[in-house]
Structure 1
Amino acid sequence: MNAVAAYGLLAHGLIFGALASLLPLGILRPHAALAATTVALLAGIAPVMHAIFGTPSATLLLLALLHLPARPQTPLNYPAALGLLAFASLFYPAALGWGSFDPYALGYQPWALLAALLPVAVALWLRGATLWLAILAVDLAAYASGLFANLWDALFDPLLVFVAACVVAQQHAVRFIAARRR
């Protein structure tokens, strides 16, 4: 098994554990997450997830890891999720060939992309978004280590976009329910 496959299996096991930690189990939540991670790796759930979704981005893995402790510290809130959805709505159609420019190709020779990420990093630093800045640093380190062939793959993936869509949908559902109760 190569490093990318091992990373994908372990990452999907942890993502499954983070998914299980969403269950309302009170103080047992971290234990359920650990048990779900173990079950995902031993029972074959992680390989199935890896086969369906592919290798998860380092960002998704880090967000899952931040969600595992007893007090989750995930920075994927409504504005961040909405921004990711807006970016993905422009990126994926162009990457799928709906235009003459392929932004995904920039990830193979990422000097322009790295230059574009510099102002993003400065903005994160100025806003005090240290978790997002740390996630970006780990993403870049994962790409530099050779784990990902394309920088875009380290930054985000379709499953992360789906998670962002769920965060946005949850916020809209909460607002809708609150408005109906008035």
Structure 2
Amino acid sequence: MNLLAAYGLLAHGLIFGGLVSLLPLGVLRPHAALAGTTVALLAGIAPALHALFGPPSLTLLLLALLHLQQRPLVPLTYPAALVVVGIAALFYPAALGWGSFDPYALGYQPLPLLAALAPLGLVLCWRGNNAWLLILAAGLAAYAGGLFANLWDALLDPLLVLLALGVVLRGLAIRLIVARRR
């Protein structure tokens, strides 16, 4: 088993634990998350997720880890999820061949991508958004350390996009409900 496969299995186990931690269990939430992680690794849920989605991005793993705490820190708010969905809406169709430009190829020689991420890092630092700054830095470090062959794989994955889409749709539904009550 290579490093990326081991990372993928462990990461999917932790992500499943993060999913279990969303259940309204009160003080038992952290224990249920730990049990969910264990069950995912032992019962074959993590390998199934790994086979279906491939290795998750470090962004998704860190979002799950931040949610496993006693007092969860959830940086995937509506605006952040909107940014992720917007990037995916531009990235995935072009990467699938709709158009002559393939943004996925930029991830193998990422100097232009890194140049585009530098202002994002400065904005995150200026706004004091330390959680997202840490996630961005960890993703860049994972790519630089050789865990991921493509920078896009370290930062974005389909499961993260589905999660962000769920957050956006939930936010839109709440806004619609609030608007109807007025």
Give the TM-score normalised by structure 2.
Answer: 0.97
Structure 1 distance, partners of 2:21, 2:60, is 15
- Residue in 2 that maps onto 1:164: 164
Structure 2 distance, partners of 1:45, 1:36, is 10
Structure 1 distance, partners of 2:113, 2:90, is 16
1:24 counterpart letter in structure 2: P
Unaligned 5+ segments in structure 1 are: none
Cα offset for 1:171? Answer: 1.4
Structure 2 distance, partners of 1:49, 1:17, is 13
- Residue in 1 that maps onto 2:101: 101
2:162 counterpart letter in structure 1: F
- Residue in 1 that maps onto 2:7: 7
Structure 2 distance, partners of 1:173, 1:30, is 28
Structure 2 distance, partners of 1:172, 1:105, is 33
Structure 1 distance, partners of 2:117, 2:26, is 39
Cα offset for 1:153? Answer: 0.3
1:90 correspondence with 2:97: no
Unaligned 5+ segments in structure 2 are: none
Superimposed CA distance per residue, residues 53-101 of structure 1 (whole angstroms, 9 cap, x where no aligned partner): 1110000000000011121102110001011111111111111111111
1:149 counterpart letter in structure 2: A
1:112 counterpart letter in structure 2: P
1:124 correspondence with 2:127: no
- Residue in 2 that maps onto 1:142: 142
Superimposed CA distance per residue, residues 85-130 of structure 1 (whole angstroms, 9 cap, x where no aligned partner): 1111111111111111111000001111111111111111111111
1:153 counterpart letter in structure 2: D
The percent of aligned pairs where both chains have the same amino acid is: 73
Give the TM-score normalised by structure 1.
Answer: 0.97
- Residue in 1 that maps onto 2:151: 151
Structure 1 distance, partners of 2:154, 2:48, is 20
1:55-74 equivalences under 5 Å are: 55-74=55-74
Structure 2 distance, partners of 1:53, 1:82, is 21
1:24-63 equivalences under 5 Å are: 24-63=24-63
Q: Say which SS state the counterpart of residue 85 (structure 2) adopts.
A: helix
Q: Say which SS state the counterpart of residue 135 (structure 1) adopts.
A: helix
Q: Say which SS state the counterpart of residue 114 (structure 2) adopts.
A: helix
2:41 counterpart letter in structure 1: L
Structure 2 distance, partners of 1:177, 1:35, is 35
Structure 2 distance, partners of 1:7, 1:133, is 22
- Residue in 2 that maps onto 1:173: 173
Structure 1 distance, partners of 2:148, 2:170, is 31
